[in-house]
Structures are given as structure tokens and as C-alpha cells.
Structure 1
Amino acid sequence: MPTPHLHPSPVETAVLLVVLALLVAEEIALGLAEEEDRPTISGVLACASGSGLLAVGAVLLGRWLAARRPLPLPPPGPNGREYSARALEGFPMEAVRPLLLAEQAPQLGQLYSAWMLARAGRTAPWIARRLAIPLDAAQLLVDATHAEHPARRRGRPVQRR
């Protein structure tokens, strides 16, 4: 599962740099062109700018669609979707118990899903937004994963055996 990131991917960076270089080249070409060639060059550059805008739109649409993609779910068991004991290893049940007893509490299955996403490196605001759980519950689980694996706090991936 890909982790969320604010920085563009290498492909997105390449597309955006090509569009930027195209815009700079357009300005240079238009400035160096002779007066009688400018209408023709302007028409070609308008088409090139339109294709650049389409490329940027495609990158933004791709990011939006990726954010809207449904989350992977565990396989269904006899009592609904279940996580394995190994997957839930380290789950802070004692810390979560007061949240489960509160009014309008999240379901335990949502907290298990949030735990799995926190272990995968997702941020608390992202988890809270995607699973519709309180931000403090998501933050508690993210903090618990950081306590479990301090390397996650520094942004390094955790090596599993």
C-alpha cells in the first residue's frame, strides 16, 4: 500500500518540469521571433501550452483518484472482517478501551483498521479522515506505533523479518 506524500512522485516531477521548460522555451522563442512570424509561433505555442495544462491536469486528477481509491480490507471471516493475531500484535487495547466506552465511539474494527494503517506509516489526520474516527483515537494509535518502532518516528521504514 503506498504511503501518502506531499511531494510529487518522480513521474509527476518530470511532467511538471517539462511543462515549466516548455513555458520558458515559449517565451524565449516568442521574444526571438521576427514580427511577421509571431502570429504563427503564437498559435503553435498556444497549442503547446494547452497540452502542458492537460498534462498538469492529468497529474492532479491522478492524485485525486489515488486519494479516493478504497482501502484494502482484510479477508472476511465467520464474524465479518478479521485481522490475524500477528497483525494486531502490539495493539494498545488498554489505551483504546476508554475510547470504546465513550459516546459515539468508533467500532473496534475501525480501530483495528486504523492500527494497520498506522503501522503502514499513514498519518493520524489521514487515518481519521479516511476511517471517520476521532483524530485523538488515530493519534493514539500512531503514537503507539512510534513507541513500538522508534525508527518510524524518524521517517525510516521498519525492516520486518
Structure 2
Amino acid sequence: MPARRAHHVLASATLVAAACVCADGTAQAAPPDWSGRYTVVTFASDKLGTSIAARQPEPDFSGQYTFSTSCVGTCVATATDGPAPSNPTIPHPPRYTWDGRQWVFNYNWQWECFRGADVPTEYAAARSLVFYAPTADGTMYGTWRTEILEGLCKGTVIMPVAAYPA
């Protein structure tokens, strides 16, 4: 799905969720459940931001994961049975927390800053916030926002993401 469509659907889902308020003033929502097999896509070809990394060409990437949700106090969806990240500093398995509207994964890691062919990669402290908002058909759309805190790639990188039931 093109990123523009993903952003439009996400905005629409947010508006629908905000409008779903009952007469007594409380929102009525089913308990969150992100369980089952999903194809997760990161639209890296549509990235933007202030970092030079946001301007470096990169293909979209995806993987299939099995998610399971556990709600003991807070609801947490854990992605298992899928490919490990290529960067070992990204927490694995990812655990997304339900915030009442969307699934959120917030973490610190080391960004691999590409500085050119035959130049060693520079690792830089970074923090990311990833969120997925569910839609009526079970698909989720969101954003992966990374703030690179130091080095040549210092700045932000923002990429649209989606999770499609497999």
C-alpha cells in the first residue's frame, strides 16, 4: 500500500476512534488483541526527516511475524516467530504496549550510519517510537520515528509502517 494511502487510512482511523463516544461520555472499545500471523512492512522508500539518513535511498522491507497479546494490567503484544532484526541493538522480540488507541514500541538502540562505500559504518545512539493503529479490517497503519542523537546522521528519520493479517 502506498505511504500516502497508509497515512490517509491512519488519519481516518484516528478520527473514527475519537468520534466513537457513548452518551455517558466514555469510549466503548473492545479489549485490544493483536494476535495471529501478520506481514509487517516498513516503507523505507518513503522515509523523510532531518537526518542525512532520511535522504539515502533504501528499499521497503518486510517480514512475517506471529503476534500474541497478553493483558495483565497493561496489554502487551509480542512479535515472535519472525526474522530477527539485522541490527543486534534493536530489542528482540519487540513488545508493543496498548495505549488505548494504538500499539506502541519505544526503545533505545544504536543507529548504523552509512557514510559511503568503503567507509566504516558509524554507530550512533538513537531512540525510536513505533506505533500501529488498528483499522476495522484488522490491518494496522502507523509510523516508525527515530531520533539519531549524535554523529554524522544526527537528526530524525520517519517511515510509514503497516501490518497486514497474513
User: Quick check: TM above 0.5?
Assistant: no
Which entry has the higher C-alpha Rg, 1 or 2?
A: 1
TM-score by length of 2: 0.23
Greater length-normalized contact order (CA 8 Å, ≥ 6 residues apart): 2
If each structure's helix is expressed as a fraction of its own residues, which one has the higher value? Answer: 1
If each structure's strand is expressed as a fraction of its own residues, which one has the higher value? Answer: 2
TM-score by length of 1: 0.23
